[in-house]
Amino acid sequence: MNSRKHKLTVAGPRSSLCCGKNRQATHGACHSLIVDQREVVRLWMKNRRPTRESAIGVDLAKNWNSQWSVSGGSFNPEDSNYIGVGPFSEPETRSVSRYIETIGPNLAGLLSFRAFGQRLLIPFAHSSEPMYNYNDMITIGRRAMGSLAVKYNTQYLVGTSRDVHDGSTGTIADWTKHRFNPPVVATYQLRDTIWGYTLPVNQNVKPISKGVKFCANKTVDETVLYLAEYVSVLSSPQDKNQLESFLNKTDIKFVITIPNIQELIDREKVATYTRSDLRSMTWNTYYKMEDINAWLDDLVSRYPSIVTPIVGGTTIEGREIKGIKISHGSGRKAVFVEGGIHAREWISIATVCYITNELLTNNDAETRAAAVDFDWYIFPVTNPDGYIFSHEVNRMWRKNRRPIGNQFGVDLNRNWNNNWLVAGSSSNPAADNYAGIGPFSEPESRTLSTYMRGIGDKIDLYLSFHSFGHLLLLPFGNTTQPIANYHDAMNIGRRAMGALSVRYGTKYVTGNIAEAIYLATGGSIDWVKEHLNVPLVYCYELRDNGTHGFLLPAEQILPNSQEVMDSVIDLIHQAKRFGYMSGAPDLKASFLIVVALISSLIF
């Protein structure tokens, strides 16, 4: 950017723009409008031009000379979105445009503020094509909305008006972008999505997140109760009537989301990977263990100078925990990625495979920088025995396959040596969350932890993938206290979840395990944080929010994986902003460009 001083224009509601040559007349018009809004019609949105005997006003938001009348407006003067007799027919828009003309060459940006809907709109409304610096603005916008979400977790969508709003043309933002092409032009559609234009004045109250905690000292064990938004219950056909009767008698509201879960299982898409054909690994179907291993082997063959095979450990049935390392040279810090520790969470495995593929094939500058600047240790399936069993015998299987009397399996994500068996786990071998006979009793968790210790001082970021619930979890699961670098991790995580929400509007809640979901100890991320002291540790609970649960339809694999990849790249970007994960020059450079732009704006 050159040495000239630049200006940022900020426009408020079109109904209160007051910039005309005749100051007295213009102020009078504004005063009249304010009186009309507050004392006559609270929901008035136009100016006060008499158009005919029974109709007054033009929608100033649609009266600008940029694709005027193309979409989103009306030619009927009685409608609230009446666009006038022509572009700039109104003195308000005409006079403000003249003022902007005088500073246009120095404009670095324009921000327009409106209500409601929680959107950040980027030009242009008449087309979905990526015009001008659209791609840069999407990146800048989603990061800004990630920052916006930090304080109260308010989620905004980012995109053109045509893509994420009503597609109305003739706006100040589109006119300014087309006329002067300043780098940053955006329109905020502010809170909220419920109250609309009558937003209560107390909307600075932090919303309640999932898993609001209530403690009751009912027993010596200090039982902790949770009030959650919902609880998912799976019932056998023979118990269905009894369950519904109990819920009705106790006035517990319920919705049957899946009447016949077996039908859903029978319809699941599972494909076969074709050996030596990397293109046959697609993102609209699930794969069995042998197919995933074959694909990993083919990646090693296809990228011999970058990808090497690694083995993280062994299973109770003697299988290897296979993975790959992606490295573009020595001396780099590492990102550790693992999925599939709970066998039935197939989407976690598909997501890890998708991330792997993106790191090797995507030519986007930031994705390439992330792939090149760090060593990636990736294990798609850390519970191979259980995953195979979930395909061949019991689709809803969660644990490994250790025989325990007439029962089978230990929950591997309750078996790590960190507050083992303290909360959220069971000592009953029949339970899904059975923690085993002791910490690291299972070869899967024990050998994988040994492998991690060998590279622990290299790991800057640890990512564990689970389903379901739309959550980004931080350590720890035994307390809601902000331990270690909790505040930095929260800030980074929430901003990255803002980036995740941009593509499809999926909203994640960020918090430590105990505050965001429930008390649960003995998991991998708590052990990694405390024993390896990894700076940033997160666990994703992926799609969805309970409608399909663990049986996420295959058609959601790609959108889920795309939005997660967006967030992983932004995690790295935000981590660098907060002083973590040093050594990614391309990402650092892109951030400095944004900083240089912002620092040059004069308000």
For position 7, what pLDDT does the model report? 53
The active-site residue out of 338, 541, 555, 563 is 541
187 has which bridge partners?
A: 112, 121
Q: Given this model, what pLDDT does residue 232 score?
A: 83
- pLDDT bracket for residue 208 (50, 70, 90): very low
Per-residue pLDDT of 486-508, as tens digits, reads 999 999 999 999 899 888 889 99
pLDDT per residue as tens digits for the range 289-310: 999 999 999 999 999 999 999 9
Q: What is the DSSP-derived secondary structure letter of residue 73? A: -
Which one is predicted more confidently, 232 or 58? Answer: 58
Residue 595: pLDDT above 70?
Answer: no
11 or 261, greater pLDDT:
261
- Least confidently predicted of 39-53, 119-133, 166-180: 39-53
- Residue range 300-357, pLDDT digits in tens: 999 999 999 999 999 999 999 999 999 999 999 999 999 999 999 999 999 999 999 9
pLDDT (0 to 100) of residue 150:
74
What's the confidence (pLDDT) of residue 30? 37
Q: Are 270 and 395 in contact (CB under 8 A)?
A: no
pLDDT above 70: residue 23: no
pLDDT digits (tens, 9 = 90+) for 431-480: 999 999 999 999 999 999 999 999 999 999 999 999 999 999 999 999 99
478 closest CA partner among 508, 515, 440: 515
* Cβ contacts of 573 within 8 Å, gap of 6 or more: 143, 366, 587, 590, 591
Residue 462, CA atoms < 13 Å, CB-side half-sphere: 26
The position carrying tokens 């052990």 is 527
SS3 320: strand
Among 14-28, 33-47, 52-66, 261-275, name the one with the lowest average pLDDT.
14-28
Selected residue with higher pLDDT from 172 and 38: 172
The confidence score (pLDDT) of residue 143 equals 82
At a CB cut-off of 8 Å and minimum separation 6, what does 442 contact? 316, 400, 402, 410, 412, 415, 436
Residue 377, helix vs strand vs coil: strand
Residue 587 pLDDT > 80: no
Q: Is the pLDDT of residue 601 over 70?
A: no
What's the confidence (pLDDT) of residue 12? 59
What's the pLDDT band for 13 if we cut at 50, 70, 90?
A: low
Is residue 263 part of the annotated active site? The answer reads: no
Task: Report the pLDDT value the prediction gives residue 228, as an integer from 0 to 100.
Answer: 58
pLDDT digits (tens, 9 = 90+) for 358-413: 999 999 999 999 999 999 999 999 999 999 999 999 999 999 999 999 999 999 99
- Name the percent of the chain lying above pLDDT 90: 71
The per-residue pLDDT of the chain, averaged, comes to: 86
CA dist list (Å): 185 to 110, 135, 148: 5, 13, 17
DSSP string, 184-218: EEEEEEES-SSSTTS--TTTTSPPPPSSEEEE---
pLDDT digits (tens, 9 = 90+) for 217-269: 322 233 333 445 678 888 889 999 999 999 999 999 999 988 999 999 999 99
The one-letter amino acid at 89: S
